[in-house]
Amino acid sequence: MTQTSHALVIDGLTIDRPNGQPLLRQTSFAIDPAEVVLLVGPSGSGKSTIVKLLGGLLENGPGEWRVSGRLHCGGQPMDLATERSAVGGIVFQDHALFNDLSAVENLRIAADHAAHRPDSVLIADATALLDGIEPTQTVSSCSGGQRQRLAIARTLLADRPVLLFDEPNSGLDVAMARRLGELIRDLCRTMNKPALVVAHHVKDLLPVADRVLLFDTRNHRLVEVPRDAEAIEAALLALDESAPPNGSQAGLTETGLAETGLVEVGILRGAGKGRDWRQEIGHRSRFHWFLRYLAEYFWELCVSPLMLIYMGAGALIMGFVSMWFGFHYNSFGGYLKSLLHDETLVGLGLVQGTVAVPLISSILFVARNNAIIAADIGNRVLSSQFSAMQNLRITARGYIFSAILINMVVGSLILLVISLGMASWASMQTWHVQFPMQSFELWRSHFFRKLLPDGLHPSFSMVWVLLKVALSSLLAGGAAIVIGCGKKESVLEINAAIARSIIVGVTLTLLVHAIISILTL
C-alpha cells in the first residue's frame, strides 16, 4: 500500500490480547487528509483498542498487548512492535477534562505541552468552538456539550496528525449526534486533518462520514463496508445475533437539547464569540505547571484551614493529656509529687517532644492526606485523566506525583513544628493549673532541658525526630499514590482504595517511628 497521498497508513497490523487471544490479524488500512472514517463493530470487539494504539496508550510488552505491523504518518515510518505511535489526539468518551483546572487552564496545559507551539491559526480553530464558555469557568459547571467542545478544543491544541473520537455520540439523541458529526466534519475540512470515529450508534453519523470500517471479529480484520445504515446493521447482526438494532438509541430527551451546549456551535474560523480566548491561552513554561500543581497540593495537603484546625486540635489534646496524666496518674503522689516535680517535667518534655507529639502528628497527617491522595488519584484514573495527560504529553509523575511527595515531606515537617509549639503551650497551661504558685520560667527551664540543652538550639535527638516524620510521610504518600493508581472501574473501588491507603499509610508510620525510636535509644 503506497503512502504518498494518505495521511495515515497501517500495514500488516496484528494485535493479540494480554491473554493471547487474537484481536487483529495482518490488517491494513489508510486514511486520507480531511477524511472522516467511522469504525464500527460489536460491543467489546476492540474498537477502542485501535484508538489507544494510535494515541500511544496501549501497553505493549510481556504480559500486555502484543502488537506488530508498520505505521506511516507524515512521511515517518514506525515499527509498532517496538515504538509507540502517538500520532492521534484522543477525544475521550467521558471527556477526561482536568477538573482541578479551569476551562482555559485545560487548554493552556495542552498548548504548552504540544510538540510544537500551536500557531495563531490552530488556536483560532480550537477556540472557535468555545462560544458560551467562560475562560475561568470550572469544568464541573460546564454542561455536557460544553465539556465535549472543550475536550475537542484541548485535543486540537495538542496538534496531532490524526483526530481520534471514542464514541463521541454516546448518550446523545439523533439530532445532537448529527450536530456533533457536522462539527467533526467541518473541523477536518478546515484543518485538513483526518478523523477516526469509533461509533456504536451509526445512523446519526453516517451523513458526515466518508468511509466506514467494520471490525470483523470472526476473521480479525478491518473491512470497508458501504455507507448504508441497513448494510452496516446487517453486517453487525451477522457478527453478533444478540446485538440490538442501531435504530434503538438511548439518549437525551428533547429537554436535554439546550443543556448539551451543542445547539448553536460556531465551527469556522472566527465563529467564536465573546472573550478572545487566544489572548487567554498565552504561553507558560513547564516549570509554571509544576509550581501550579505544587501550590495546589500544598494548599490541600498542608495549610487548608480545616487541616490546620485538625492538626492543632490533636496537638492541644496531646499537650493537655501528657501533662495532666503525667502528674496525676503515676506511681507517686502527695509528698513525692513535689519532690519529683522537676525530673517529671524533664521526662514529660522529652517524651512529648521526641515520641508522643511526632507520632500523633504523623498519624493524623498521614491518615487524612492518604485518604485525599487515594481519592484524587483514583478519580483521575476512573475519569481517564491520566490517559489524557499521557496523550497530551503531560507527565503525571513530573507534576502530580512529585508535587504530592514533596508536600507530604515538607508539610509533615511544617505541621510537626506547629504541633510541637501548640502541644507545648497546652502543656504549660495545664501545668500552671496544677501548680499555680510556680513561675512559667521554672516550667520552661525543666520541660525543654533535654530538647534545648543550651536554651536555644535543638538537641541532636531532634534530627532523628525530623527523619522519622519525613520518612514515614514520604513512604505513606508513595503508598497512597500506588494504591490510587490501581485499576478503577467504579466509585466503590475508589472508596476501597481510600480505606487501604489509610491502613497502609498508618501502618508504615507506626513501623518507621517504632524502628527509629528503638535504634536511637
Q: What is the pLDDT of residue 337?
A: 53
Domain 10-284, CATH homologous superfamily name and number:
P-loop containing nucleotide triphosphate hydrolases (3.40.50.300)
Q: What is the pLDDT of residue 253?
A: 33
Distance CA 514, CA 359 (A): 9
For residues 368-378, give the mean pLDDT.
98
For residues 236-263, give the mean pLDDT.
46
pLDDT above 70 for 274: no
- Going from the C-alpha of 291 to that of each of 195, 281, 284, 400, the distances in angstroms are 35, 18, 11, 10
SS3 for 353?
Answer: helix
Q: What is the pLDDT of residues 173-225, one digit of tens each?
A: 777 778 888 999 999 999 999 999 998 778 888 999 999 999 999 999 999 99
For residues 338-363, give the mean pLDDT.
88
Listed residue (192, 190, 189, 195) closest to 212, CA to CA: 195
Q: What is the pLDDT of residue 263?
A: 38
CA 267-273-277 angle, 5° bins = 90
Helix axes 357-382, 402-434, angle to 10 degrees: 150
For residues 238-265, give the mean pLDDT.
43
HEC profile for 301-332?
HHHCHHHHHHHHHHHHHHHHHHHHHHHHCCCC
Task: Give the pLDDT band of residue 330 (cuts 50, 70, 90).
Answer: low
Q: What is the pLDDT of residue 340?
A: 67
Q: What is the pLDDT of residues 128-155, one digit of tens each?
A: 888 889 999 999 999 888 999 999 999 9
Evaluate whether 154 touches 110 at the Cβ level (below 8 Å): yes
Q: What is the pLDDT of residue 4?
A: 55
User: Which set of grid coordinates corresponds to residue 329?
Assistant: 496518674
Task: Give the pLDDT band of residue 243 (cuts 50, 70, 90).
Answer: very low
Q: What is the pLDDT of residue 282?
A: 81
**Please, what sign has the CA dihedral across residues 315, 321, 323, 324?**
positive
Distance CA 52, CA 516 (A): 46
Q: Residue 118: how many CB atoms within 10 A of its CB?
A: 22
Q: What is the pLDDT of residue 240?
A: 65
Alpha-helical (H) ranges within 31-128 are 47-54, 103-112, 120-127
Task: Give the pLDDT band of residue 339 (cuts 50, 70, 90).
Answer: low
Per domain, the residue ranges of the chain are: 10-284, 288-519
Q: What is the pLDDT of residues 466-518, one digit of tens each?
A: 999 999 999 999 999 999 999 999 999 999 999 999 999 999 999 999 999 88
Distance CA 520, CA 518 (A): 6
Distance CA 290, CA 294 (A): 6
Distance CA 406, CA 48 (A): 36
Q: What is the pLDDT of residue 178?
A: 82
For residues 29-44, give the mean pLDDT.
92
Predicted TM-score (pTM) of this structure? 0.87
pLDDT above 60 for 246: no
- Going from the C-alpha of 157 to that of each of 118, 278, 339, 388, 391, the distances in angstroms are 6, 11, 76, 13, 12
Task: Give the pLDDT band of residue 237 (cuts 50, 70, 90).
Answer: confident
pLDDT above 60 for 272: no
User: How far apart are the two ends of the chain, measured CA to CA in Å?
Assistant: 75
Phi/psi for 169 (5° steps) reads -95, 10
For residues 29-58, give the mean pLDDT.
92
Q: E-strand spans in 2-121?
A: 8-16, 22-31, 36-40, 66-73, 76-79, 88-91
Phi/psi for 214 (5° steps) reads -105, 135
Distance CA 240, CA 243 (A): 6
CA 396-378-133 angle, 5° bins = 70
Q: Which residues pair with 79 in a beta bridge?
A: 70
Q: What is the pLDDT of residue 247?
A: 40
pLDDT above 80 for 451: yes
Listed residue (509, 510, 518) closest to 473, CA to CA: 509
Q: What is the pLDDT of residue 495?
A: 97
Report the range of poorest mean pLDDT among 202-206, 246-250, 298-302, 429-433: 246-250
Burial-class residue 200 by CB neighbours within 10 Å (0-12, 13-18, 19+). Answer: middle
SS3 for 62?
Answer: coil
Evaluate whether 423 touches 313 at the Cβ level (below 8 Å): no
Q: What is the pLDDT of residue 241?
A: 53
Q: What is the pLDDT of residues 8-31, one digit of tens each?
A: 999 999 999 999 899 999 999 999
Alpha-helical (H) ranges within 159-194 are 174-191
pLDDT above 80 for 353: yes
Rg, Å, the chain Cα set: 30
Report the range of poorest mean pLDDT among 91-100, 338-347, 367-376, 425-434: 338-347
Q: pLDDT averaged over the chain?
A: 87
Task: Give the pLDDT band of residue 169 (cuts 50, 70, 90).
Answer: confident
pLDDT above 80 for 250: no
Q: What is the pLDDT of residues 374-422, one digit of tens each?
A: 999 999 999 999 999 999 999 988 999 999 999 999 999 999 999 999 9
Distance CA 280, CA 315 (A): 45
